[in-house]
Amino acid sequence: MTLPSSKSDMSLNKRRLRMWIRMLRTTRFVEARLREFLRDNYDTTLPRFDVMAALYRSSDGLKMSELSKLLLVSNGNVTGIIERLVTDGLVLRVNVEGDRRAMLVCLTAHGRKVFEGMARDHEALINDLFAELDDEDLDGLVPVLSRLKAIEDKKS
Amino acid sequence: MTLPSSKSDMSLNKRRLRMWIRMLRTTRFVEARLREFLRDNYDTTLPRFDVMAALYRSSDGLKMSELSKLLLVSNGNVTGIIERLVTDGLVLRVNVEGDRRAMLVCLTAHGRKVFEGMARDHEALINDLFAELDDEDLDGLVPVLSRLKAIEDKKS
DNA sequence: AATTTTTATTTCAAGCATAAAATATTTAAG
DNA sequence: CTTAAATATTTTATGCTTGAAATAAAAATT
């Protein structure tokens, strides 16, 4: 007869599954909070924020395909989001010199200004939501997540 | 003059932000793989899988509102997904005795059978995607994620 | 130079997701 | 008992998201 099973006795694949389910729940919860925050304070959405964040980081603008690869979303998806951002005067679309297929996208001056405000508040919100995690927790967490990032490149 | 900054010198809020961004990227990557798997092998979607998983776990079925609370999605969202699952003969909707507002939802026999196949393959896929993580990694990861789960209850 | 292949993007149809409003029913208060 | 408040769900409008098909231009092949 076996002793009462502890967590460590669980098979590795079951433990991985449980970890994934927990991780998924956490990200969904945080995403929901972010959506709420963006809607209430900036009348915008998470996908729009993600696009603007990517554009803000790249000084020279991004091509549509680069954007979709960066954000892990489909090509057609980016088209729609950019369309609405252009309408709102936050983003500019210009032709790429020497390649008439491609489009280069970047934030307008207004877009940069707006994003800077959002980013500040966003950081504060994340900080608050993850207040539970101290430096020691992060020391443990970040390297593991970093190693997981590697699987993205390997398996795709 | 300061020494070259290491990761640990980064302010706590910046570290939390970076951790969140990594975690988000990982979950999005895994979700994309799951979607691909569900589409190619079972001609279904992640939201449908999530709903079926929740129903499979609860032997007595769930009310629409319980389902939406459990999955962290909106009420109307569940309505649509359940509608399609009912159409496909995977889910059954019955009235709740003594409350004519509420609906109880559960898997059909066929739905249970189909889900069992999916769940087996799903577990194998997750195990594969997170093959990088051994018991020691999980020992570090799971407790932290569990503590994060607590914020869901506190802050909502 | 003409043809094929690859690359970049958009369009399309279907499903997912949300918030807000509407509907219907139950519970609580007066 | 009647009205008011709370609960359970659906409907609606809008936007997100996908995969696949369409369009167009560039690059590679023949």
Cα-trace Rg, chain B? 20
Q: pLDDT, tens digit, for every residue of A46-99? A: 999 999 999 999 989 999 999 999 998 999 999 999 999 999 999 999 999 999
pLDDT over 70 at A16, yes or no:
yes
CATH number of A59-107: 1.10.10
Query: Is the CB atom of residue A45 positioned under 7 angstroms from any atom of strand D?
Result: yes
| pLDDT above 80: residue A38 | yes
Q: In the predicted model, what is the mean pLDDT of residues A120-131? A: 93
Model pLDDT, residue A72? 87
Interface of A with B in 47-106 (CB under 8 A): 72
CA distance A32 to A36: 6
Residues of B in contact with A139 (CB under 8 A): 8
Q: How far are the Cα atoms of A81, A117, A120 from residue A114, in angstroms, in the given order?
A: 17, 5, 10
Per-residue pLDDT of chain B (156 residues; tens, 9 = 90+): 555 555 556 899 999 999 999 999 899 889 988 998 999 999 999 999 999 999 999 989 999 999 999 998 999 999 999 999 999 999 999 999 999 999 999 999 999 999 999 999 999 999 999 999 999 999 888 888 888 876 666 554
| Per-residue confidence (pLDDT) for residue A154, from 0 to 100 | 57
What is the model's pLDDT at position B68? Answer: 94
Look at residue A3 and tell me whether its pLDDT is greater than 70.
no
Residues of chain A with Cβ-Cβ distance to B16 below 8 Å are 126-127, 130, 133, 138
Q: Where along chain A do the CATH 1.10.10 domains lie?
A: 59-107
Whether the predicted pLDDT of A149 surpasses 80: no
Nucleotides of chain D within 7 Å of a protein C-beta? Answer: 7-13, 15-21, 24-27
Secondary structure class of A74 (helix, strand, coil): coil
* H/E segment holding residue B131: none
The number of residues making up chain B comes to: 156
Question: Taking 80 as the threshold, does the pLDDT of residue A134 lie above it?
Answer: yes
* B58/B91 Cα distance (integer angstroms): 13
Confidence of residue A123 (pLDDT cuts 50, 70, 90): very high
Band of the pLDDT at A140, cuts 50, 70, 90? confident
CA atoms of A95 and B83, how far apart (whole Å)? 44
Any chain B CB within 8 A of the CB of A29? Answer: yes
pLDDT at A66: 95
Closest residue to B148, CB basis, from A123, A132, A151:
A132
Would the pLDDT of A6 be above 80?
no
> Considering the domain B51-133 in this protein, what is its CATH number?
1.10.10.10
Smallest Cβ distance to B126: which of A17, A33, A152?
Answer: A17
Most confident of A17-26, A104-113, B4-13: A104-113
Closest to A123 in 3D by CA, of B149, B16, B145, B151: B16
- Tell me the CA–C1' distance in angstroms for B121 and C6: 35
Among A129, A135, A148, select the one facing B151 at the smallest CB separation. Answer: A129
